[in-house]
Amino acid sequence: MKRLLCCIGGLLLSATAVADTVQDVMAILGRHVLVRASYEQHKRVAGRKRELRSSGTLVFARNQGVLLEMNLPAVSQLVMTDTVIVQRSAGQTMRLKLQQSPLGAAATVFGQLASGNLQQLQQNFAVSASSTGTTQWELKLTPRSEAVKKSLQEIRLGGDQFLQEITLFDTRGGRVLLQLADHQTQPETLSADESELFQLAH
Amino acid sequence: MNQSSFSWLTERRFRAAGLLWLAVLLVAGALLAQLWHSGVLRLQSNIYALLPASEYRPEVAAAYQRVSDDVNNRLFIAIQAADSAALEQATRETLRLAAESGLLTSAPLNAEGSAGPGLYAHRAVLLSDADREALLGGHYQALTERALVQLASPLYGASDQQLREDPLLLFPRFLLERAAAAGAGELEAGWPTRRDAQQSVRLLVFALRGKPFDMSYQGRLLPWLQQLKLQMRQWQVAVRATGTVVFAATASGRAQREISIISIGSTLGLTILVWLAFRSPRPLATELASMSAGCLIAFLGTHLIFGEVHLMTLVFGSSLIGVSVDYSMLFMCTQAAHPQRAALLTLKSLLPALLMALATTVAGYACMAATPFPGLTQIAIFSALGLLASWITGMLLLPRLRALDTRYARAALRPLVAARSWAAGRLRWKIPLFFGVPVLAVLLACQWRVDDDVRNLQSRDANLLADESYIKNTFQARQNSQFLVVYGSDETDVAEREAALLTRLRVLVSDGQLQGFQALGLWSPTAATQVRTLHALQSLPDAILQSYAEASGLELGDLRRWRSALATVEPTIIDIPALRPWRISERIRLVTLSGIEDYREVARAGAVPGVQFVDPVHELSATFGRYRLYGGWLVLAATLLLSAALAWRYGAAALPATLGPVLLSILTTLLLLLWCGIAINLFVIMALFLILGIGVDYAIFFRESPTQGDSVTVGVTLCMLSTALGFGLLGISHTAVIHGFGLTVLFGVISSFLFAALVTHGQRAREPLQ
C-alpha cells in the first residue's frame, strides 16, 4: 500500500515537473522580442537516398510570427503566423489562411512558438517535455486532430537558452531537420523588407 | 328588371333546385373523401410556387433550377462543443440519428480537399496561373525555382512516387493556388471544422430525403431536430440548424397557427355578432353550412384544376369566401323586417341586388384570375367557386326557414338609419366631391412607399436568422445568391466563353469588386490551353531539366521519363463528381460568386453573348414590381367595367352614388396605409380588387332597397362587421404581405360601408311586395 502511494506520488511529481519544463521552455522561447539565427535544413523524402539541403536565416518575432528566408538552393521567403502563411518565390506571392491549407498543421507550430502561446499549442498538440542536460531540453509535439495525424506524425524541438533544432516527422517516413546557429537578439526591430512580409500576413 | 322577371321561380322549382344542389354537394363530398382516402390530396407550402414561371431562356432556367434545388435540398447543422472529444462524439451521434431517422442523407462537402484525388489523374494539364504563365512565356528558371522552393519547404512533405510523377511539383502548386483563391474551410472527414481555445464547431451537411416544402416532411423533420437539440444539450453540445426547409417549416407552422387563430377569432366574433343581431344561434348554423359548402366546392374544384391547393390559397381563399355571409345576412334581415311575407317573395325582391352583387364580386375575381401569378389565379378561382357555391347554398336554404327577430339590432342601429335619412336629402354625391378631392390631393402630394421585396412573402423567424448568420459567419460562407450562367453550342464553345468570362472576373477580384468565384473552368482548362500546356512541357529544354536535377537531387533520368510520358496525355474535359455542381450539361455551365461588392460590375462582366447574370431575389422582386403596376391597371380596368355595368343598370347619373363610395373608400384606404407606414405592393393592389367588389356590393344593397328601409341598414352593417372581423384578423399575421392585405381590406370595407351608407340611397321607393 505504501509503495502504491509512493508510486502515485512519484507520478504526480513527475507530471508537475513535466508541466513546469514545458512552461519553462515557452518562457525561454518568449524571452526575446526578436531572435535571428542562421539555419541549415536537411530534408529527406522516404524512399530517396539523397537529402535535399537548404539554408538561410530564420527570424522569430515575438507576437508576430516566424520568417524563414531561404538563400540556397533558391531564394524565397516564407512567413508563418498562427493564422496565415505568406510565401514569396520567383516573383509570386501567395497568401494562405492556415485553415485553408494542407500545410497548416506544421506552420501553426512555428507561429505558436513565436507567440509563446502554450495554451493554443496544446489545443493542437499533446506536448511533453524532458530535460536532457542541465540546460538542455526537448519538447515532443503529437498532433491531436485526425486530419493532421494523417500527414504529420510528430514534431521535436530541442534547445538550451535558444531553440537549436526542429525536426518534423511525416507519416510516410520522411523527415525535415532544421539546425539553428548564430542566434542574435539585436537589433530588436525588423528591417523594412521583413516588416513588409509580416504586413502581408496581417 | 322587376320581380316579374323571376316569375319562373315557382315554389316547386325552388324545392327541386334545392334537392339537386344537395345532391351535387353530397357527390362533391364523396369525391373529396375518396381523394383523401386514396392519398392524392396535396397541400403546397412553397411560397415561390405562387410566383410566375421562369421568364428565362431554357439554359438559364436549367441552371436556375439546379441552383435552387441544391440550395433548397440541403440542411446545415452546426454542432458546437467545448473540446474535440465531445465534438467527435456529437458528430457520430448526429450522423447515426440522421441515418436512423430516414429523413436525411449526410452529404460531406466536395471542396478542394476532396477534389484533389480525382484531379490528380489530370495533373499534367493542371498548372497554377503563375506557373502556366512562366511556362508559356519561356521563363523556365522561374518554374524550376518555385519547384525547388516547394521541395525545400519544411511545410511540404512529398512522397517518392509523387516526385517521379510530378517532379516539378506543378499539381500541389495548382491546388495551393486554388485553395488561396477559394477560401474553403478546413475539412475534417469532409466536414468544415473550426477550433479555437474555447470551443470546436463543425458543420454537418445533409441532403433532404423529402421535399423541403412538403408539409408532412417538415412535420417529421422539425420534431427530429428538436429532439436532437435536447439530446445534445445533455452533452453540453449546442446545435444550430439552417436551410430552406427550416425556414419553410417554421413559416408554415406559423401560417397554420395563424389560420387557427384567425378562424377561431372570426368564428367567435361572428357568433357574438349573430347573437346580438338575431338573438338566435340559427344563423351560425346556416352560415356554417353555406361556408362549408363553399369551401368544399372551392377546394375540390381548385384541386381538380391545379392538382394541388396552396396553403396561401386556404388562408386567403377561406376568408374571401367569408364574404358570402353578406348575402345571407341581407336576406335574413330583410326577411326579419317582413316576417309575414312569403320567403320566396322576399328572395325575389332581393334577387336583383344579390345577383348584381355576386356578379360584380365574381367579376373582380375573374380580373384577379387573369394575372400571370399562378398563386393569385388559384386564390381567385378558389374564391370565385367558393363564393358561388356558398351563395347558392344560402339562397336555397334560407327561404325554407322561419323569419328571425332583428328588433334589437334595428333598435341599436336607429341612429345610423336616422343619419342616413338626414344625409339622403342633403349630401348625396356631394360627399365624393368634398372628401374625394382633398384626399386625392394629399395622396398625390405624398410620396408613395413601394416595396416589392420578395422576401416579405415569408415571415422570417428572428432565432432562425440568428442561427443562419452564426453558421455563415463561422464557416465564412459568403456565397451570393447571384450567379452567372454560361451556355454555348457545344462543350468547346461554352468552355471558351467561360474562359473569357473568368478573365474578366479575375480583374474584378483584383479590383476588390468581388471576393471570389467558383467555376468548372478554374479546374478544367479549355482544350486549346491544355494542348498548349502539354506542348510547352514536352518542349522543356534538356539543360533546364539538368540544372534542376542537380539542384534538387532528383534523377535526370526520372525527369526525362516524366517529360516523354507527357506525349501520351490527351486533352480532356475534367469531369469529376466534385466539379459537377458547376457543369449543368455539356452546353451549360454555372459560375458561383462570393463576396460581391458591386452587383452592377459583375452584371457588366456577364453582359456578353452566351453569358447571363442571374440575381434571383432582385429579379423576383422586380417581377413583383412589374405585376404591381400591371395590377394597378387591372384595378382601373375593372373600375371602368364596373362603371359600365352600373351605368347600364342604374343610369349614368347614379354613378356618383353607386361607384362614388367605393372609389372614395379606395382613396381613403390608400391614405390610411400611407399613415400606417404600409408599403404598396402587389398584395395591397389585390386587396383593392376585393374592396372594389365588396364596396360596390354595399352600394348596390343600399341602392336596391326602399329609400328608408332600415332592414338593409341592419343587413349591410352586419355584412361590414363580419367581413371586418375576418380581414381585420388577417392583419395580425406575421407575414408582411398577409398583414398588409388584411389591413387594406379592413380599412376598405369600413370606409366603403360608411361612404355607401351616407351617399347611396334606394331610388325605387317600392312598397314591400304583397
Q: Which domains, from first to last, does chain A contain?
A: 2-68+104-190 (2.50.20.10)
Residue A14 has a pLDDT of 40
Under DSSP, the state recorded for A47 is T
Q: Which residue has the cell 439552417?
A: B242
pLDDT at residue A19 tops 60? no
Average the pLDDT over each of A15-19, B56-60, B240-244, B629-633 and give the range with the smallest value.
A15-19
Residues of A in contact with B146 (CB under 8 A): 74, 89-90, 92
Rg (CA), chain A: 18
Residues near A122 by Cβ (< 8 Å), separated by ≥ 6?
none
Q: Which of B131, B141, B143, B149 to mutate to test the interface with A (most CBs of A within 10 A)?
A: B149
pLDDT digits (tens, 9 = 90+) for B602-624: 888 888 888 988 887 787 788 78
pLDDT digits (tens, 9 = 90+) for B539-558: 999 999 999 999 888 889 99
Instruction: Say yes or no for a CB contact (<8 Å) between A99 and B159.
Output: no
Residue B113 has a pLDDT of 47
> Regarding beta strands A65-72 and A52-61, do their DSSP bridges make them parallel or antiparallel, or are they unpaired?
antiparallel
Residues near B55 by Cβ (< 8 Å), separated by ≥ 6?
B623
Average pLDDT, chain B: 84
pLDDT digits (tens, 9 = 90+) for B9-34: 888 999 999 999 999 999 999 999 99
Residues of A in contact with B184 (CB under 8 A): 100
pLDDT digits (tens, 9 = 90+) for A177-187: 999 999 998 88
pLDDT digits (tens, 9 = 90+) for B174-204: 888 877 766 544 556 667 777 776 788 888 8
State which residue of chain A sits closest to B131, comparing Cα positions. A92
Instruction: Say yes or no for a CB contact (<8 Å) between A68 and B154.
Output: yes
Rounded to the nearest angstrom, the minimum Cα separation between A57 and chain B is 13
Interface residue A202 vs chain B (CB under 8 A):
no
Average the pLDDT over each of A110-119, B159-168, B381-390 and give the range with the smallest value.
A110-119
Q: Which residue has better confidence, B243 or B437?
A: B243
Rounded to the nearest angstrom, the minimum Cα separation between B188 and chain A is 6
Q: Which of B153, B165, B509 to mutate to test the interface with A (most CBs of A within 10 A)?
A: B153
Instruction: Say yes or no for a CB contact (<8 Å) between A70 and B551.
Output: no
Residue B29 has a pLDDT of 95
pLDDT at residue B3 tops 50? no
Average pLDDT, chain A: 80
Rounded to the nearest angstrom, the minimum Cα separation between A102 and chain B is 8
Average the pLDDT over each of A66-70, B115-119, B250-254, B692-696 and give the range with the smallest value.
B115-119
Q: Which of B186, B201, B558 to mutate to test the interface with A (most CBs of A within 10 A)?
A: B186
Contact at 8 Å (CB) between B626 and B681? Answer: no
Sign of CA dihedral B600, B605, B608, B612: negative
Cα distance between residue B728 and residue B750, in whole Å: 10
Instruction: Say yes or no for a CB contact (<8 Å) between B146 and A89.
Output: yes
Cα distance between residue B44 and residue B47, in whole Å: 8
Residue B364 has a pLDDT of 76
Q: How confident is the model at residue B270 (pLDDT cuts 50, 70, 90)?
A: confident
pLDDT at residue B438 tops 80? no
Nearest to A48 among B141, B160, B180 (CB): B160
Interface residue A91 vs chain B (CB under 8 A):
yes
Exposed / middle / buried, residue B171 (Cβ in 10 Å: 0-12, 13-18, 19+): buried
Residue B55 has a pLDDT of 66
Contact at 8 Å (CB) between A145 and A124? Answer: yes
Q: Which residue has the cell 356631394?
A: B430
pLDDT at residue A32 tops 80? yes
Interface residue B182 vs chain A (CB under 8 A):
yes
Residues of A in contact with B157 (CB under 8 A): 45, 151-152, 168, 170, 172, 174, 176
Interface residue B544 vs chain A (CB under 8 A):
no
Cα distance between residue B637 and residue B689, in whole Å: 11
Cα distance between residue B60 and residue B65, in whole Å: 8
Domain ranges within chain B, ordered by starting residue? 3-41+279-446+619-759, 54-73+467-524+573-614
Q: How confident is the model at residue A51 (pLDDT cuts 50, 70, 90)?
A: confident
Rounded to the nearest angstrom, the minimum Cα separation between A32 and chain B is 24
Q: B 105-124 residues with CB below 8 A of A? A: 112-113
Instruction: Say yes or no for a CB contact (<8 Å) between B157 and A75.
Output: no
Q: Which residue has better confidence, B122 or B196?
A: B122
Rounded to the nearest angstrom, the minimum Cα separation between B666 and chain A is 59
**Preceding peptide of B706 cis, ω within 30°:** no
pLDDT digits (tens, 9 = 90+) for B697-753: 899 888 887 654 678 888 889 889 888 887 778 888 777 778 888 899 999 999 999
pLDDT digits (tens, 9 = 90+) for B320-338: 777 788 888 889 988 888 8
Residues near B58 by Cβ (< 8 Å), separated by ≥ 6?
none
What integer is the mean pLDDT of B118-128?
86
Instruction: Say yes or no for a CB contact (<8 Å) between B552 and A73.
Output: yes
Q: A 127-186 residues with CB below 8 A of B? A: 144-147, 151-152, 166, 168, 170, 172, 174, 176, 178
Residue A8 has a pLDDT of 47
pLDDT at residue A139 tops 50? yes
pLDDT at residue B434 tops 90? no
> Checking phi first, is residue B105 left (phi over 0); if not, alpha (psi -120 to 50) or beta?
beta
Residue B129 has a pLDDT of 87
Instruction: Say yes or no for a CB contact (<8 Å) between B183 and A147.
Output: no
Cα distance between residue A158 and residue A167, in whole Å: 9
What integer is the mean pLDDT of B47-70?
76
Q: B 59-98 residues with CB below 8 A of A? A: 84
Cα distance between residue B59 and residue B415, in whole Å: 67
Render A158-184 in DSSP notation, one character per residue.
Answer: EESSSEEEEEEEETTS-EEEEEEEEEE
Interface residue A97 vs chain B (CB under 8 A):
yes
pLDDT at residue B457 tops 80? no
Residue B132 has a pLDDT of 92
All three cell numbers of B682, joined, read: 402587389
Residue B593 has a pLDDT of 87
Q: Which residue has better confidence, A167 or B54?
A: A167
Q: How confident is the model at residue A9 (pLDDT cuts 50, 70, 90)?
A: very low
